[in-house]
Every structure is written in C-alpha cells, then in structure tokens.
Structure 1
Amino acid sequence: MLVAAAVCPCPPLLVPEVAAGAAPELDAARDACADAIGVLAASRPDLLVVVGPAADGGTFRQGAVGTFTGFGVDVSVRLGQGEPGGQRLPVSLAVGAWLLERAGWADAPVQGLAVGERLESGLCADAGTELAARAARVALLVMGDGSACRTLKAPGYLDERAAPFDELAAKALATADVRALMALDDQLAHQVKAAGRAPWQVLAGAADGADLTGRLLYEDAPYGVGYFVGVWS
C-alpha cells in the first residue's frame, strides 16, 4: 500500500558539480527536495521505489549505478545501500539516487522503475498499482519535469500551451488529485516536452484509493522548464 510519495524534478543540474557556477540557482529546489525526502523517511516505508522517465522502461535493483560523466563531471551514484551491480541507471533515476545519497537515505530498501516517456496513461496507472502492492508500506520518489517550452530560450522553445499544462499538473500534484493527473493529455505532454507526465500517472495509479493529501513545496520554471517539488502523505 502506498503510504507516501515525493515528487521532484530530474534535471542533472540539480547535481552541483554538473551545474558548476550556476549551482546556486537551484539551491531552493534542492532544499525542497531534501524536505520531501524527509517526509518519505517519516512515513517509515518497508520499500522505496524511485520512478523516473527514460527512453525505455525497465526495473533496477538496489545497488544499480548511475553516472554523470556524460555531462562532463566524474560523479557516480548508487541506488540505495546495496553492492554495486551491473545495471546502469538512466539519468532521471541517477538524479533520484543522488538526492537519496545527499539525504543519507538508509530507511528502507530501494528499487528503481524507469517509465517510457510515451507509455500510455492506462499502462502507467497499472504500473503504479503493481508498485503499491509490493510491500505493506510503500513510498515513491517520483522524478519528472514539467513542460520544457515555457520561454523562448527553453529547450523546446516557447509553446503557449506549456504554462497552462504546467498549471494543471501543479494543481493536481498540490492536491493529490489522482483523477486530474490521469486526465493529463499524453499527446500534449509530449508536444510540450513534459517528461514527468508518465511518472506522475504511475503515482496516480499507486495512490488510487490510498486517501493521501498533497502539498507543493516548490514551483518554478528556471531555464524555461517547469519544476515541481511536492509531497503526498
């Protein structure tokens, strides 16, 4: 059963070594993520699953390794406290693993789930239902960004539909509105480059019937990308 969830953005720039001189620009987001992970720890889960977008879906065992060498820095992370394994984490899960290492996570075993960014909404919900049944007390760390089309200099250039999409997503995350998350248009999400849509709908599937309440800790669009940090408990 799902007992808590934290929602965090997943840009590699959250890792200060990647951001370099621009690192202070995301200090508020990092602090909010730390607070969100604190809520997960307080829920005393039997299992924590880190969920994030990737080109291809897949599951990852505790100890799987992620690296940021592709971004020009020699920084590696492990998923949880396990022995390093042969699996390589996609970037979104590597950022999640970095957040957990930064928080000193040792409260429960950790697994990872990469969700294909184009995965159909119903299948996302089904994946969430399966995650919630993995243990008596399950917590999720859900990684994902909003639209990447909020400004002219955004990665996806300016799209006037981006801000309204992010407003709907932010409201749903702030209020733990499962139905509103499931109603997010997957085609529009793809068009405005909102990589968080599929992981958020996994969360919706996991939370269905759990009677959780939500709270948004951070909302901004630095670099023209929607970033949200929230907690459900």
Structure 2
Amino acid sequence: MKTKQHNLNIKRKLLALLMVALGISNSWAQKDNYSTFYYQRASMFEKLSVDSTDIVFIGNSITNFGEWSELLNNSHVKNRGISGDRTTGLYNRLHTILPGNPMKIFLMIGINDLEHGASVDSVVQGIIHIAERIRNESSQTELYVQSILPVNDKLGKFPKHTSKGIEIIEINKRIKSYCQKNRIMYIDLYSRFKNEDDERMNQKYTNDGLHLKGSGYLLWSSIIREFIED
C-alpha cells in the first residue's frame, strides 16, 4: 500500500514539474469546475464544424445571447459564446475552433473571472493565453480582441459583476497595450457603451447592469460591422 502511495506521489510531482516546464498552472489544467450549461453547449460545439470562411464569436453570456448572424446579415458568422464562461473555460475549448482556421475571430472574455474573485493580473494573463494560442495554432486567422463592456451597479443586480468597474478599466488598458505591441486589432467597445459623465454602462443598453438589451446589440454590431466586411 505504501509503495502504491509512494508511486502516486512521484507521478504527481513529475506532473507538477512538467506543468511548470510547459508554463501551465493548476488553474489552467483544471477542467471540471464549470457549469452544466457549459458542458452542454461545449459538447454541441464539438459536433459543429468551423472552416476558413467562418467568422467566429467567442466569449461568455454577453456573446452567447447575440444573434450575430442576423445582426450582421452574414451566414458565415458563428456564435461560440457560452454563458458563464471564463478565460480558462474558453481556452480549454479552442480545440473545437482553431483546427478549422477560421477567417476571423472576435473575442470578449473576463467579466466572469472577476465575479469568481480573479485578480486583474490573472484575467489579463488569461486573455493573453487565449490570444497567443489563437495566433500559434491558427496563424491565418484575423483576431479581434474586444474590450470588456462597462457595468452598472445602480440597477441592483449581479453585484459580484457590477462592482468590478475599476478592475474592468485596468484590464482593458492592459489588453489594449498588449494588442498594440503585438499588432492585434483591439476594439474599444467600452467607451461607446458607458455614460458620458461616469464609467457606468448607459441604461439605454442594459436592464440588469451586465447583459445587453436589443439596443445594445445593435450598437455593438454597428461598431464592428466594418471589421466584418473589410
């Protein structure tokens, strides 16, 4: 019994050393901490194809809820958002997208990481991990990194998300800098959705301080349309 436990401990240590050598943290190796909905939707994406003519939207519920193909009047647009998703969850399912070498990818992710207590540094690093994997595994894909949207804590809903306004500003600042240094297109949605006189999301576009109403999706699609059609 002791020998078996000893061997198991050795295997665990070797795995930990391998993960360190590959630059993988425990959080990035963890795969079993997502919602039932995550696995339901991710399993569907396992069965659906992506090819080089496609424009793929990836992210969390804010992406998930958009009827992108209709909003952009483009049958090549595919929605791969999952409600509740985080940077680790998105990273772990890129294998269902990247082998198809899509024409373009539009990325927005990070707010749910903050809701789960992640630091600004962790969220920024998570977004960078995703961007670098896309560039390494699908080099012909045009990547568009979209800012995290502002939130509004005055509506009394989703307090763990809507209390993160300061963190969102800092993440967007760092991600913009990363994109500029690495010649990745950064799309500033944040400034178009916030109030003129403060940093909260304009209530024209939300009724819960986090998710978008139809008017919000119309604004979003109007901002990115030029990148879809170029």
Question: TM-score when scaled to structure 1?
Answer: 0.35
Task: Give the number of the structure whose alpha-carbon radius of gyration is greater.
Answer: 2
Higher strand share: 1
Determine which structure has greater relative contact order: mean sequence separation of CA pairs < 8 Å that are 6+ residues apart, divided by chain length. Answer: 1
Question: TM-score when scaled to structure 2?
Answer: 0.35
Higher helix share: 2
